[in-house]
Amino acid sequence: MRNKGILSLIAAGLLISPLTPGTVKAEGNEYQFSKKLIERQVEKPLQQGIINSHSLNQLQKEVKGSPSYSAKSFNKMGAASSSISSSEDYLFETEYNNDFDSANDTSYEKPTIGQLLPLFDLDIHKVVVPKDGILLVAGAANSSAIDLGFTVVQKDFVENDKLVYLGSEFDEAGIEYQAYQAKGGTYYVGVLDKDNFYDKYIDNNTENDLYAIVTGFLDNVAPNKPSVNKVDNNDTVVTGKAENGSTITIKSGNTVLATVKATSTGSFSASIAVQKAGTKLAITAKDSAGNVSSSVTVTVADV
């Protein structure tokens, strides 16, 4: 499946002059397995609602890059020339990066720019997922010479429920978006040119043909329900433990009795009016992403 369009990074401000090609040929299980994963994944459309419009727009903005940025040259071996106006806006791939141990680091704040030279080149980029949630990866190329393919795997291609592929889609600008449900940990983005395999080993890339990869993270996992200490009909505070930094809400029926933020250690103490014995209190925790835990019910004891 070929990209439905190609994003012009040059039009977006990446004015690149000829680069120095590397001499690395990506071989072995890493490259072959990445190819197989991409073949399987591109046929699974991304379900609506998995990525919200704000996240898509942010990823697209990062892929296109800043129009004010202009790179004059970039060495495939990883040395950005002194003529680059701002190295703070982008990351550049550094060869050799065709195995897990030599993978380049990524940043959620900056796109990574790279080449796919020579024929069968494989670039591997490392991404750290801070906690359980959705890992987003978007990519595009500045040239039709690159039929960009990328996928996320665990180190040594371990397969389990820590990383679950959710699907992919293309937008009108030719940017591909992929989503993965991931446990907190380290993962690897493999990038290759599908032309090398699908079109009879086409090798028409030049030093000016580049790709951009960006990563994002969405926290879609609700906190664990709080643990709440005993409450009796003399108490004016409710105490317990919850996800650190989460907002604790205490209700009696539809009435909110108190809201309080858990500390960095997860403890909380919320002031309430004295409640009658037998009153049922519902306590929930909401994290900074807006995910709400299941409710804990505490019955006010009669002392």
- In order of their start, the domains of the chain are 29-218 (2.60.120.380), 227-299 (2.60.40.10)
Q: Tell me, what's the pLDDT at 198?
A: 62
Within 8 A by CB and 6+ apart from 223, the residues are: 242, 243, 246, 285, 286, 287, 291, 292, 293
Q: Give the integer Cα–Cα distance in Å for 1 and 294.
A: 42
Give the residue-averaged pLDDT of 18-47.
Answer: 58
DSSP E strand stretches across 34-142: 91-92, 104-105, 112-114, 123-129, 133-141
Alpha-carbon Rg for the chain, nearest whole angstrom, is: 25
Is the torsion defined by CA of 247, 248, 254, 258 positive or negative?
Answer: negative
Model confidence at 87, pLDDT cuts 50, 70, 90, reads low
Note whether 176 and 169 are within 8 A (CB).
yes
| Residue 182, amino acid | A
DSSP-derived letter for residue 156 is G
Note whether 136 and 217 are within 8 A (CB).
yes
* Main-chain phi, psi angles of 299, to 5 degrees: -95, 125
Q: Give the integer Cα–Cα distance in Å for 188 and 133.
A: 16
Helix spans in 69-210 (H)? 195-198
The C-alpha angle with vertex 218 and arms to 216 and 224, in degrees rounded to 5, equals 145
Q: Which has more confidence, 256 or 82? A: 256
Note whether 7 and 142 are within 8 A (CB).
yes
**Looking at beta carbons, which pairs linking 50-58 to residues 24 or more positions away fall under 8 Å?**
50/134, 50/166, 50/167, 50/179, 51/134, 51/136, 51/177, 51/179, 51/218, 52/218, 55/136, 55/216, 55/218, 56/171, 56/177, 58/216
Tokens of 67: 């129009």
Q: Tell me, what's the pLDDT at 209?
A: 86
Asked whether the predicted pLDDT for residue 190 surpasses 70, the reply is: yes
Q: Which has more confidence, 93 or 21? A: 93
Q: Give the integer Cα–Cα distance in Å for 137 and 151.
A: 8
Question: In the predicted model, what is the mean pLDDT of the chain?
Answer: 79
Highest mean pLDDT among 2-16, 39-53, 60-74, 78-92: 39-53
Tokens of 262: 């858990």
